[in-house]
Amino acid sequence: MKPYREMTVAELSAELVNLKAQYKKMQSLGMQLNMSRGVPCQEQLDLSMGMMDVLYSGSDLTCEDGTDCRNYGSLTGIEEARELLGDMMENNPKDIIIYGNSSLNVMFDTISRVWTHGVMGNTPWCKLPEVKFLCPVPGYDRHFAITEYFGIKMIPVPMTNEGPDMDLVEKLVSEDETIKGIWCVPKYANPLGISYSDETVRRFARLEPAAPDFRIFWDNAYGMHHLYDHHQDHLIEILAECKRAGNPDLVYKFASTSKITFPGSGIAAIATSPNNMEDFISNLRIQTIGHDKVNQLRHVRFFKDIHGMVEHMRKHADIIRPKFEAVINILQEDLEGLDVGTWTKPLGGYFIMFDSMPGCAKDIVARCKKAGVTMTPAGATWPYGLDPNDSNIRIAPTYPCMADLTNAMKIFTLCVRISAAKKILAEMQAETH
């Protein structure tokens, strides 16, 4: 297709009239689809229904070490669950604490704890004049929401195809002791879908922060979420790299089964160094006597081992891969050659990132909503919801059925074209006056 900027005013005006007619037709479909979040579809949830049958009133709820899961105890989680999530996270089970139902909750809890009580004996963050956090952008809006909730100043760091701009990260953390952490989604990142390169992971492990209580919040939410069997991103294990670099305490690594089994009913975990573990446990003893061991046992009995989990995730991939491919195909068919936007082609995760022409993202999302398709709010992928270019849009393909997804993406590409055509036409007309 001819790029919009190469069209004449007459050609682009005619194109806009045609696009608006198509948009009106799509509006008549009466769609009511919310694809604002990365949510598993019903077919994905059905994959885990067998987990409801592995435990019943007649089940032996005793762990291999003799722990009765019906009773108090096992502060760090039952050993079977630590082994399972250790394999999932590629970490020693001894370096893992099993928490409740979601890693987001663990991350909030961690920030809350260091806010009031500090990191390994350092000054609590609440007593400091200023606390800053590095936020790779575009990034995960719920990470930004946590830091904003605590009044922590967020500093955007641009993402590249290999991860955060490490030249900038290294400079900032080495020069400013008020910078206490950085958010990371290292594999199939939200929303880009890219994974950190080997060199990026190694540079993270070799950081020399000015603040002794600086920590990397390594949210490996999509470590198991591949779309393809033989074409996958590989991520170096960060804790091992930190140990090799002489920085064993630098990382808090989070993961969960939220999008593997049932969101809200999964199990979450943190993996970290022995020193950090001791710090966590000293506080955890005050907070709880132990998290839900019955649910931990249920997950172990359902998967049996990591091989069962890998096979389970293949079934997830079979369901969502066609949806990702459909989104990419429609973006290519409807937008390629027009020079009105770019998009990622991830090999895993839950999102596809779209960058519109500057100044168009809010308009595109608003037009989609008027046609019955609710997208992630424009700006959500930046701290404080402020995308300086107003261009970044997160596409979440997993939840809709294929028919709804196809219609939604047709609406989306129409809105992209309308917004771009209007912007370019206005610029052309302004130049003639």
pLDDT per residue as tens digits for the range 120-167: 999 999 999 999 999 999 999 999 999 999 999 999 999 999 999 999
Please tell me the predicted confidence (pLDDT) of residue 165. 98
User: Confidence band (pLDDT; 50, 70, 90) for 433?
Assistant: low
For 84-110, letters b (16+ CB in 10 Å) and e give bbbbbbbbebebbbbbbbbbbebbbbb
Pairing of strands 392-395, 352-356: antiparallel
Please report whether residue 266 resides in a domain: yes
pLDDT of residue 1: 78
Shared-domain flag, residues 217 and 337: no
Q: Which tens digits make up the pLDDT trace of 2-18?
A: 999 999 999 999 999 99
Q: What is the pLDDT of residue 146?
A: 98
Query: Do residues 271 and 352 both lie within one domain?
Result: no
Q: How confident is the model at residue 432 (pLDDT cuts 50, 70, 90)?
A: confident
346-353 mean pLDDT? 98
- Choose one of 303, 330, 346: the last residue of a domain: 303
Which among 399, 333, 322, 412 has a CA at the least distance from the CA of 366? 412
Residue 56 resides in a domain: no
Domain's final residue, options 275, 303, 331: 303
- Write the CA distances from 200 to 9, 165, 195, 241, integer angstroms: 46, 9, 10, 11
Whether residues 174 and 315 share a domain: the answer is no
What is the average pLDDT across 206-212? 98
Chain segment 226-282, per-residue pLDDT in tens: 999 999 999 999 999 999 999 999 999 999 999 999 999 999 999 999 999 999 999
| C-alpha angle 314-51-218 in degrees, rounded to nearest 5 | 60
Above 90 in pLDDT, residue 431? no
The verdict on residue 52 lying in a domain is no
φ, ψ (nearest 5 deg) of residue 62: -95, 135
pLDDT at 360 over 90: yes
- The answer to whether residues 7 and 285 touch, using CB atoms and an 8 Å cutoff, is no
From the CA atom positions of the chain, what is the Rg in Å?
A: 23
Same domain, 336 and 225: no
Edge-first strand listing for the sheet containing 352-356:
341-343, 352-356, 392-395
Q: How confident is the model at residue 180 (pLDDT cuts 50, 70, 90)?
A: very high
- The mean pLDDT value for 108-123 works out to 97
Q: Is residue 30 part of a domain?
A: yes
Averaged pLDDT for residues 291-295: 97
Looking at the fold, whether 115 and 252 belong to one and the same domain comes out as yes
Give this prediction's pTM: 0.97
In this structure, is residue 51 part of a structural domain? no
- Which element (helix H / strand E) includes 406? helix 402-431
Q: Would the pLDDT of 225 be above 70?
A: yes
Domain CATH for 203: 3.40.640.10
Do residue 38 and residue 81 come from a single domain? no
* pLDDT confidence of residue 430: 86
Please state the rounded mean pLDDT for residues 332-337. Answer: 97
pLDDT of 290 over the 70 cut? yes
CA-based angle 333:337:340, to the nearest 5?
95
Q: State whether 181 and 65 are in the same domain.
A: yes
Number of domains forming the structure of the chain:
2
Residues 125 and 183 both lie in one domain: yes
Mean pLDDT of 89-113: 97
Domain of 347, CATH number, reads 3.90.1150.10
Residue pLDDT, tens place only, 187-206: 999 999 999 999 999 999 99
Q: Are residues 22 and 67 in the same domain?
A: no
Full residue range of the structural domain in which residue 338 is found: 4-45+310-431
Q: Please state, rounded to an integer, the average pLDDT across all residues of the chain.
A: 97
Q: Does pLDDT of 223 surpass 80?
A: yes
Look at residues 303, 337, 352 and tell me which one is the last residue of a structural domain.
Answer: 303
Q: Are residues 279 and 351 in the same domain?
A: no
Q: Are residues 345 and 274 in the same domain?
A: no
271 and 411 co-located in one domain: no
Residue range 203-221: average pLDDT?
A: 98
